[in-house]
Each structure stands twice: as C-alpha cells, then as structure tokens.
Amino acid sequence: MKNLIAATMIALLISCEAKKTEPTVAEVPATPEVDYTAHHVPEVTAVFDAHGGFDTWSTLKSLSYDMGGSTTLTELQNRYARIESEEQTVGFDGENVWVYPPSEDADRQRMRYNLMFYFYAFPFVVGDPGVNYDVLPQIELAGKSYNQVKIAYDAGVGDAPNDSYIICSDPETNKMEWLLYTATFGGASKDKYSLIKYEDWQNYGGVTLPGKLQWYTYEDGVVGEPRGSGRTFENVQVSTEYPSMDKFKMPEGASIAQLPAE
C-alpha cells in the first residue's frame, strides 16, 4: 500500500511538473464545414481551374510570404493572420485585430492588416460564401481583350461589403492578368476603379500565385503608366498543416484596432 501511495504521489508530481514546463499551444480551429463551390459560376470556376483549382486551394491551411520588409502568415481556413515587421506586429486572432507594441494609430490597421494578403491570394479569395458573380462583356486593357467576372458581396460580409472587384482573364488560358477594384472602407468612393496587373505566376503546392503586383493609373477605361515599383512576394510557402495557433494570440498590452464609425 505504501508503495502504491508513493508511486501515485510521484506520478502526480511528474504530472504537475509537466504542466508547469510544457508550453501552452492554442487550440487548432475546426475546418469550416461549408460547401464553398455551390455558388460558383462556370466562368469563375474556369479561372480557379487555370490557377490550380479551388479544391486544391481548399486543402491548404497555411500561407506565408515576405513582402516590403514584413512577413505575413495566414491560417487559410479561418483567416487568422500575423504580419510582422521590425516596427510592429499586427494580428487577427479570430475576434480582434491587434497591434503590438500598442499604438494610438492602431485603428488604421483595421483596413490594412489583410489588404495585401487579399490582393495576393486572388482569384481564390473570391470563392468564399457570400460572394456574388456577374459575368460582364469582354474589356480591352492595354490593347488586348479579356473576359470579365465582377465580384460583389452580401450585406455584412467582411469589413467593407460595398467593395467590388473585376477579374480580367485571358480568353484562351483563363488565367487572371488584371484586377479592377473599388475600395469603400472608411467611406471611399465605390465608383472609382483602381487597376493591378498580376505578374510572374508561380506554382506552390499545386496552386498558382503571383510573384509581383503592379498598380497602374486607370482613367476612363484607359491604362496609363505604372504607379510605383509594385509589390514583390518572396519566400512563399504553403502547407496543408495548420500553423502554430499561438502565433495569432493577442499579446498582453496590445492595442485593438476598431472599425471606423459609420
């Protein structure tokens, strides 16, 4: 009996010590059980297929890349995010957008935290539920004709449901080459379109993602000169495994980025 008690006490001590020393790992969220493809139209499916297929994209759990002095990590099933640079880290933990070290300008990150990820992950990001498609007549951009699919959102979807996007794809290959978009977050005009050219497509884990996004001036349907030097994406990695969810936890003392007042 004494030996049994002693063995039990040792087991309890080992258990307690393990609890003290083992790091806490945030629980991996469940993969959403949603039929993402039910609302897709053939024209947008053709674009997805030209870039590896939406089914392939849906198997991925993690995407990371370096861009402009920052490193972005996104958990793809629920869109948890972490954007880390020398100056600050911005994250989304499934509930709050947070900024660390704390900042008086934290609210500005509410729009910015996933903006570049969203542009980068086209066309796949517009396969989500709550997205509506409108097939438009072909458009001419820089002397070439392209197919068009316009994307709009149901009310209450995302932080800026009044935004709209137009995927411009090659009629022969169905590959996306241009993106027209409006940005309405914070009250910006929903009628003025900006223009991005997608370049240097590369395959990662079965899906094709761009190496560079180049903005162009665009006025009255005419493509102008490049705006700036564009955004280049490096050290791109995708995975079918979830990243460590601890990376998205809000640090103690971080600022929470609030939505702008309507």
Q: What is the mean pLDDT of the chain?
A: 84
SS3 string of the chain?
CHHHHHHHHHHHHHHHHHHHHCCCCCCCCCCCCCCCCCCCCHHHHHHHHHCCCHHHHHCCCEEEEEECCEEEEEECCCCEEEEECCCCEEEECCCCEEEECCCCCHHHHHHHCCHHHHHHCCCHHHHCCCEEEEEEEEEEECCEEEEEEEEEECCCCCCCCCCEEEEEECCCCCCEEEEEEECCHHHCCCCCCEEEEEECCEEECCEEECCEEEEEEEECCEEEEEEEEEEECEEEEEECCCCCHHHHCCCCCCEEECCCCC
Query: Quick check: 11 pLDDT over 80?
Result: no
The pLDDT tens digits of the residues spanning 223-262 come to 999 999 999 999 999 999 999 999 999 999 999 988 765 4
For 140, other C-beta atoms within 10 Å of its C-beta total 12
Which pLDDT belongs to residue 32? Answer: 59
Query: Quick check: 120 pLDDT over 50?
Result: yes
Which pLDDT belongs to residue 90? Answer: 95
Which pLDDT belongs to residue 2? Answer: 34
pLDDT band of residue 84 (cuts 50, 70, 90) is very high
Which pLDDT belongs to residue 99? Answer: 93
Determine the average pLDDT of the residues in 80-95: 94
The pLDDT tens digits of the residues spanning 155-202 come to 654 444 567 899 999 999 999 999 999 976 544 445 689 999 999 999
pLDDT band of residue 103 (cuts 50, 70, 90) is confident
Which pLDDT belongs to residue 260? Answer: 61
Which pLDDT belongs to residue 247? Answer: 96
CA distance 239 to 235: 13
Domain residue extents for the chain:
37-257
Which pLDDT belongs to residue 141? Answer: 97
For residue 203, list its beta bridge partners.
208
**Top CATH class, 37-257:** mainly beta
Query: Quick check: 136 pLDDT over 90?
Result: yes
DSSP 40: -
pLDDT band of residue 27 (cuts 50, 70, 90) is low
